[in-house]
């Protein structure tokens, strides 16, 4: 296994990694001295983007990037502190765009915000890699996506201020 992330809370540990190009999540309960691989079955290419502990909900949220260029999407799977799956949220991209990465944050018991960067789908899987075009925020109520707002980097007043005038054109 090639380990990439871990989260530890209370007496449990979540580890993410890759085995034979397949992402896995390993759950360990230190009190019970038991470990198990959590269900993460995806068709095609998938990788772990991020893993965060939500102490409010008592869960660990794991964001996966699934698919290639035209069918690329983010999927967030949440697991309780017993290693049981609780929710799965699929963030389907807009036409021509894809959500490149994201983090899920709890605002209240029923409301979460997912934020990250988005870019053009046709740059995913290229040698130069995906290019971020801006940031997005998605409001999620009761595990249902309510609205997504996209903010292009060019919309920010001073975003390119660090460039010299010739580079800004």
Reported as a single tens digit per residue, the pLDDT across 68-92 is: 766 778 899 999 999 999 989 888 7
Q: Which residues of 77-103 are buried (b: 16+ CB within 10 A; e: fewer)?
A: bbbebebeeebebebebeeebbbbbbe
Which of 105, 81, 108, 78 lies closest to 90, judged by CA? 78
Question: In this structure, how many other beta carbons lie within 10 angstroms of the beta carbon of residue 115?
Answer: 15
CB 44 within 8 A of CB 75: no
**Using an 8 Å Cβ cutoff, are 12 and 83 in contact?**
yes
Above pLDDT 90, what percent of the chain?
A: 32
pLDDT higher than threshold 90 for residue 56: no
Q: Where are the beta strands (DSSP E) in 33-110?
A: 34-38, 46-54, 59-66, 73-80, 85-91, 97-99, 103-108
pLDDT in tens, 120-145: 776 666 666 667 889 999 999 887 88
User: What pTM value is reported for the model?
Assistant: 0.82
pLDDT computed for residue 153 by the predictor: 87
């Amino acid at each position: 296994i090639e380990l990439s992330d871990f989260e530890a809370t209370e007496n449990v540990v979540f580890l993410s990694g890759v085995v034979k190009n397949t992402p896995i999540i390993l759950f360990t309960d230190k009190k019970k001295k038991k470990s198990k691989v959590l269900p993460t079955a995806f068709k095609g290419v998938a990788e772990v983007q991020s893993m965060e502990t939500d102490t409010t909900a008592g869960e660990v949220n794991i964001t996966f990037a699934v698919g290639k260029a035209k069918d690329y999407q983010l999927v967030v799977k949440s697991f309780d502190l017993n290693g049981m799956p609780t929710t799965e949220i699929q963030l389907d991209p807009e036409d021509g765009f894809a959500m490149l990465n994201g983090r899920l944050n709890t605002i209240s018991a029923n409301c979460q915000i997912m934020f990250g960067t988005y870019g053009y789908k046709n740059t995913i899987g290229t040698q130069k890699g995906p290019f971020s075009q801006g940031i997005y925020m998605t409001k999620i109520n009761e595990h249902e996506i309510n609205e997504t707002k996209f903010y292009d980097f060019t919309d920010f007043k001073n975003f390119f201020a660090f460039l010299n005038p010739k580079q800004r054109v």
